[in-house]
């Protein structure tokens, strides 16, 4: 890969922002990686990166997790990420990239404008949130923002929120990794990136956890959302041009 040091630096930044902002690192990593790899390869390597990233978060934030939410959000998310990953094989790559850009722009604008946006902490909403986040993750490689909105309704402590999200995400990414492998998205030529991204996930989570102790989570989330908005706009411009 050309510009490997730049790729590693941007992946590290994505992991730090994800840890602090509470959104999936794929919100940044997928559009960033698409500048270095083709979109299907990005989906494959993102799934593998997230497996190591989630294991790291579970280790760093192991003080607790919500078993009920793991089942009510996690099971539909895993089922529908498999469906989304299969469906993605039949959709043109350019359409997926444009959809990703629009998704990033819409999600960031909605969360910036409606800062108090929440969903009611009900069983049906947790199932719906898990379903949508799984389907979007399978198709576009990122569904963490939707899962984050759903989890935020239950007023979890920071450690419980991150650990619960990581466990659900681990199930999602493990499942779609298998589908992406059969789809041909995971290439042996990219395997050298796996240990690099594993180290990136450890460093990024460690740095992100340190930052959380020093600044306001609310303020940083606004910065993260603005960055997501610009990332979506740049991605859309790149695809169209």
Distance CA 110, CA 107 (A): 5
Residue of 15, 52, 21 whose CA lies nearest to 33: 15
Q: Is 144 exposed, middle or buried (0-12, 13-18, 19+ CB in 10 A)?
A: buried
| pLDDT score recorded for residue 69 | 92
- Residue 73: give the domain boundaries: 4-240
Q: For tokens 């990581």, what's the residue?
A: 166
Distance CA 62, CA 40 (A): 33
| pLDDT score recorded for residue 130 | 92
Strands (DSSP E) found in 158-239: none
Q: What is the pLDDT along the chain (241 residues), one digit of tens a residue?
A: 678 999 999 889 888 887 776 666 677 788 888 888 888 898 888 888 888 888 888 887 776 788 899 999 999 999 999 999 999 888 888 888 888 888 888 888 887 888 777 778 899 999 998 999 899 888 888 777 788 778 877 877 777 887 888 888 888 888 988 999 998 888 888 888 888 988 998 898 889 878 877 777 677 667 767 877 887 887 788 778 7
Q: For tokens 């490689």, what's the residue?
A: 141
Helices (H) and strands (E) in the chain, counts: 10, 0
| pLDDT score recorded for residue 220 | 63
- Tally the domains of the chain: 1
CA 128, 24, 64 angle in degrees (round to 5)? 80
| pLDDT score recorded for residue 25 | 64
């Amino acid at each position: 890969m050309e510009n490997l040091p730049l790729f590693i630096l941007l992946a590290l930044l994505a992991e730090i922002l994800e840890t602090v902002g509470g959104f999936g690192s794929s919100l940044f990593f997928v559009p960033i990686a698409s500048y270095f790899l083709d979109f299907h390869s990005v989906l494959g390597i993102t799934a593998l990166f997230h497996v190591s990233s989630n294991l790291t978060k579970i280790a760093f934030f192991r003080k607790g997790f919500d078993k009920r939410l793991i089942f009510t959000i996690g099971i539909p998310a895993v089922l529908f990420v498999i469906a989304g990953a299969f469906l993605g094989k039949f959709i043109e790559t350019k359409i997926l990239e444009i959809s990703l850009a629009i998704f990033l722009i819409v999600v960031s604008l909605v969360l910036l404008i409606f800062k108090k946006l929440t969903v009611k902490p009900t069983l049906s909403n947790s199932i719906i949130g898990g379903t949508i986040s799984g389907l979007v993750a399978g198709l576009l490689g990122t569904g963490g923002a939707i899962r984050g909105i759903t989890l935020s309704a239950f007023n979890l402590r920071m450690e419980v929120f991150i650990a619960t999200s990581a466990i659900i995400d681990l199930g999602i990414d493990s499942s779609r990794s298998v589908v992406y492998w059969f789809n041909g998205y995971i290439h042996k030529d990219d395997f050298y990136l796996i240990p690099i991204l594993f180290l990136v996930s450890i460093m990024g989570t460690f740095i992100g956890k340190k930052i959380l102790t020093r600044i306001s989570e609310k303020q940083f989330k606004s910065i993260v959302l603005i960055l997501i908005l610009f990332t979506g706009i740049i991605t859309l411009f790149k695809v169209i041009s």
